[in-house]
Structure 1
Amino acid sequence: MTLQKIKEKKAHIGIIGLGYVGLPLAIEFCKTGFQVTGLDIDQEKIDLLSQGESYIKHISGEKIKHLNKEGKFKGSTNHTLIRHLDCILICVPTPLNKNREPDMSYVISTAQKIAPHIVKNQLIVLESTTFPGTTLEVLIPELEAGSGLKANKDIFVAYSPEREDPNNKKYSIATTPKVIGADDPKSLELADSIYSFIVNKTVLVSGTKVAEATKLTENVFRAVNIALVNELKVIYEKMGIDVWEVIEACSTKPFGFMPFYPGPGLGGHCIPIDPFYLTWKAREHGITTRFIELAGEINTLMPDYVIQKIIFALNREGKSLKNSRILLLGLAYKKNIDDTRESVTFKIMELLEEKEAVTDYNDPYIPQIKPTRKYKQFAGKKSVALKKINQYDCVVILTDHTSYDFKAIAN
Structure 2
Amino acid sequence: MTKFSLRSTTSARPRDKKRLTPAIAVATLTLGALVGCSTQPEISVDPHAASYRTIHISRGISDETAQIAEIYAQALRKAGYSVELVDTGSDRSGYLEKMRSTTQQVDGMPTASPNPSASPENSVDLAADYSGNLLLYLTQDGSFSPAYIQRQREAMASASASPNYDFGWGDNDQAAAREGSTPNATAAPTPEPSLAPGAAGQDPSPVVSGGPGSSVTPSPVPTELNIKALTTDEIDASIKRVLPESLSLLDASDAQNRDGLVVSAATAQKYNLSSIEDLAAHCSKLTFGGPEGFKTRSYGLKSLKEKYGCTPKKFVVENDQSELSDKLADNTVQVADIFSASADIDDNGYVSLADPQNIFIPQNIVPVYNEQSLPESARNAINSVSAQLSTDDLKTFNRLTGGQDAIDKQSVADFWMRRTTE
The question of a shared fold, defined as TM-score above 0.5 by the shorter chain, is answered with no
Structure with the largest fraction of helix: 1
Normalising by structure 2, we get a TM-score of: 0.25
Normalising by structure 1, we get a TM-score of: 0.25
